């Protein structure tokens, strides 16, 4: 037994053992096979990433589709109007301004600087129209009838007023009524008077023109304030004391005060009668607008009824139709102030009965604003020509805007005293109450268009009004957005926004 066992051990010892060289070759062969198998598995994936699907999908498909839709719109317009969509025609000019303004707004949305708040797209739209006007080759083919331009701007003003009326929340106004009234009326009136004084001194405006310019500059822009406040409220800044809610509610009332004052001043500037008759006519326009707005507002509360299908679409169409007819019809009849007041009261009273369903109507109205916003700011930018500016006009306009804005900030800080806000919160509210955009874009060119038709000798003064409004947007809109976005998180107290849910959640920026 011992012999057999030893023999077996000898046989095992004599069996060939793998050499180190063979082990290395075997490991290399296994590594090569593994690498080849992984490469074969990854090749199809790499090809899928590089391959362009046919037909195109995703972004490429969207770009091609939108391009074809735009071309078809142009083709349909050409089949109806012929030369109007060719270079030199009204539709051609509107399309070019619309596309350039839209592109300017999109470019400003794409440009994002780290740790810097997003600039408002309306600034890019304004510069888009300004660029089209001041490029020699393009500007030669952009001719837009003043009647078309005025009608579109009045339609944009109507949408702004509709959003202001629907955005007024009675509960928020009742809760913050004293502070809201102070914030909405006080700074606007103070800035209007200070701008009138400075424009009379620096720009040598007559007093009626000076106050007209003052009310153009007096309005704050919800298009800048409301989105910024919504962002702060989502993060919980200032919600404990209702600062975002206060600024959103007051922005709509602020616009109402500025537009009403502007309409009164417009009646005085272009009136051929004495001042007393002009003031009586303005008072009559206010009464007529209030009565008509109340009657139509009560009508819109019950028509269409709740049992109808697609209720929000019918309500939105009814509101748009009534308000546009009121604003444009009042201009046709020479009652410029009646249409705006009618629109505000109509939408506010109608929204009281709609309760939560009002949000859906607001979203539809906001969709129409996306179309009119590029047209509005593009047309305003296209009215400003570098060659037509006087040598000292820019300096005097900037000085007027800056000094009036400084007075407004100080007045806002003072008016927010004894309202329960801390020193830092009062500073934030005062600085947040400076951006200007939408109302200035609408009201600025109105005096120029009226002067061209009624009083050509007043065209120089009206052009200065429009230039000042243009510069006010350029100065205050981006700076206001940056100040709100940067100072809000540093100055305001942060709290859980779910504990302070308010009507600002329902607000839609104009």
The count of other CB atoms within 10 Å of the CB of residue 414 is 15
Average pLDDT over residues 94-123: 86
Residue 150 — very low, low, confident or very high, per pLDDT cuts 50/70/90? confident
Residue 186 — very low, low, confident or very high, per pLDDT cuts 50/70/90? very high
Residue 310 lies in a domain: yes
Residue 203 lies in a domain: yes
DSSP 3-state of 272: coil
Q: Helix, strand, coil: what percent of the chain each, to 5?
A: 80, 0, 20
Closest to 488 (Cα-Cα) out of 231, 199, 183: 231
The Cα–Cα gap between 94 and 149 comes to 9
Say if CB 228 and CB 484 are below 8 A apart. Answer: yes
Residue 228 lies in a domain: yes
Residue 498 — very low, low, confident or very high, per pLDDT cuts 50/70/90? low
Say if CB 246 and CB 179 are below 8 A apart. Answer: yes
pLDDT one-digit tens code per residue, 199-253: 999 999 999 999 999 999 999 988 888 888 888 888 889 888 888 888 888 887 8
The Cα-based distances of 81 to 55, 85, 91, 139, 304 in angstroms read: 35, 7, 9, 21, 36
Residue 39 — very low, low, confident or very high, per pLDDT cuts 50/70/90? very low
The count of other CB atoms within 10 Å of the CB of residue 186 is 19
How buried is 266 (Cβ within 10 angstroms: 0-12 exposed, 13-18 middle, 19+ buried)?
buried
The count of other CB atoms within 10 Å of the CB of residue 301 is 13
Residue 422 lies in a domain: yes
The Cα–Cα gap between 200 and 149 comes to 29
Nearest-5° angle of CA 122, CA 126, CA 129?
140
The Cα–Cα gap between 107 and 122 comes to 11
The Cα–Cα gap between 238 and 493 comes to 6
Say if CB 366 and CB 163 are below 8 A apart. Answer: yes
How many domains does the chain fold into? 1
Measured in degrees and rounded to the nearest 5, phi and psi for residue 237 equal: -85, 125
pLDDT of 356: 74
pLDDT of 137: 80
The Cα–Cα gap between 261 and 334 comes to 16
Range of the domain at 442: 83-506
DSSP 108-143: HHH---TTSPPPPHHHHHHHHHHHHHHSHHHHTT--
Which of 132-141, 265-274, 279-288 has the weakest average pLDDT?
265-274
The Cα-based distances of 277 to 272, 364, 458 in angstroms read: 10, 41, 21
pLDDT one-digit tens code per residue, 337-387: 788 889 989 999 998 888 777 889 999 998 999 889 999 999 999 888 887
| Structure tokens belonging to residue 458 | 């007043």
The more confidently predicted of residues 175 and 193 is: 193
Place of tokens 């004894």: 418
The more confidently predicted of residues 403 and 456 is: 403
Residue 52 lies in a domain: no
The Cα–Cα gap between 98 and 437 comes to 17
Residue 191 — very low, low, confident or very high, per pLDDT cuts 50/70/90? very high
Closest to 172 (Cα-Cα) out of 217, 239, 224, 271: 239
Say if CB 267 and CB 282 are below 8 A apart. Answer: yes
pLDDT one-digit tens code per residue, 421-431: 999 999 999 99
Residue 389 CB partners (closer than 8 Å, separation 6+): 467
Q: Residue 508 pLDDT more than 50? A: no
Residue 357 CB partners (closer than 8 Å, separation 6+): 311, 312, 315
Average pLDDT over residues 493-501: 71
Residue 280 lies in a domain: yes
* Length of the chain in terms of residues written: 510
Q: What is the DSSP letter of 335?
A: -
The Cα–Cα gap between 454 and 336 comes to 14
pLDDT of 29: 53
Residue 63 CB partners (closer than 8 Å, separation 6+): none
Q: Residue 494 pLDDT more than 60? A: yes
Residue 433 lies in a domain: yes
Q: Residue 24 pLDDT more than 50? A: no
CATH of the domain at 153: 1.20.1530.20
| Structure tokens belonging to residue 94 | 């509107």
Say if CB 398 and CB 464 are below 8 A apart. Answer: no
pLDDT of 294: 95
| Structure tokens belonging to residue 420 | 């329960």
The Cα–Cα gap between 313 and 252 comes to 24
Mean pLDDT of the chain: 82
Residue 65 lies in a domain: no
pLDDT of 36: 45
| Helices of type H across 135-169 | 136-139, 146-167
pLDDT of 201: 94
């Amino acid at each position: 037994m011992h012999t057999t066992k030893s023999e077996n051990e000898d046989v095992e010892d004599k069996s060939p053992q793998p050499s180190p060289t063979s082990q290395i070759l075997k490991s290399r062969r296994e590594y090569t096979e593994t690498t080849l198998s992984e490469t074969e598995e990854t090749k199809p994936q790499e090809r899928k990433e590089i391959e362009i699907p046919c037909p195109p999908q995703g972004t490429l498909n969207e770009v091609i589709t939108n391009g074809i839709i735009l071309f078809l719109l142009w083709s349909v317009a050409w089949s109806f109007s012929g030369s109007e969509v060719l270079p030199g025609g009204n539709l051609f000019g509107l399309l070019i301004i619309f596309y350039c303004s839209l592109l300017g707004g999109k470019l400003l949305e794409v440009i994002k600087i780290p740790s810097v708040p997003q600039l408002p797209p309306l600034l890019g739209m304004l510069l888009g129209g300004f660029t089209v006007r001041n490029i020699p080759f393009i500007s030669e083919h952009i001719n837009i009838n003043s009647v078309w331009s005025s009608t579109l701007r009045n339609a944009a003003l109507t949408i702004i007023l509709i959003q202001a009326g629907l955005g007024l929340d009675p509960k928020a106004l009742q809760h913050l009524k004293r502070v809201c009234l102070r914030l909405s009326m006080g700074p606007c009136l103070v800035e209007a008077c200070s701008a009138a004084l400075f424009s009379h001194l620096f720009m040598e405006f007559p007093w009626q023109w000076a106050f007209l310019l003052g009310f153009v500059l007096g309005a704050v822009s919800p298009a800048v304030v409301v989105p910024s406040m919504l962002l702060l409220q989502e993060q919980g800044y200032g919600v404990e004391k209702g600062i975002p809610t206060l600024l959103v509610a007051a922005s709509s009332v602020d616009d109402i005060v500025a537009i009403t004052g502007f309409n009164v001043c417009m009646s005085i500037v272009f009136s051929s009668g004495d001042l007393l008759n002009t003031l009586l006519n303005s008072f009559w326009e206010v009464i007529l607008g209030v009565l008509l707005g109340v009657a139509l507002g009560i009508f819109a509360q019950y028509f269409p009824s709740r049992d109808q299908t697609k209720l929000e679409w019918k309500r939105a169409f009814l509101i748009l139709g009534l308000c546009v007819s009121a604003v444009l019809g009042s201009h046709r009849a020479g009652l410029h102030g009646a249409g705006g007041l009618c629109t505000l009261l109509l939408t506010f009273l109608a929204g009281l009965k709609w309760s939560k369903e009002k949000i859906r109507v607001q979203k539809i109205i906001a969709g129409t604003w996306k179309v009119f916003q590029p047209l509005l700011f593009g047309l305003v930018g296209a009215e400003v020509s570098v060659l037509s500016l006087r040598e000292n006009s820019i300096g005097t306009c900037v000085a007027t805007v800056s000094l009036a804005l400084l007075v407004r900030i100080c007045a806002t800080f003072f008016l927010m005293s004894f309202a329960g806000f801390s020193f830092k919160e009062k500073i934030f509210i005062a600085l947040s109450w400076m951006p200007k955009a939408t109302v200035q874009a609408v009201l600025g060119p109105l005096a120029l268009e009226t002067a061209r038709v009624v009083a050509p000798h007043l065209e120089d003064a009206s052009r200065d009004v429009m230039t000042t409004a243009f510069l006010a947007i350029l100065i205050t809109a981006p700076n206001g957005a940056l100040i709100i976005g940067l100072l809000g998180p540093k100055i305001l107290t942060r709290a859980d926004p779910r504990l302070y849910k308010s009507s600002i959640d329902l607000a839609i920026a104009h």
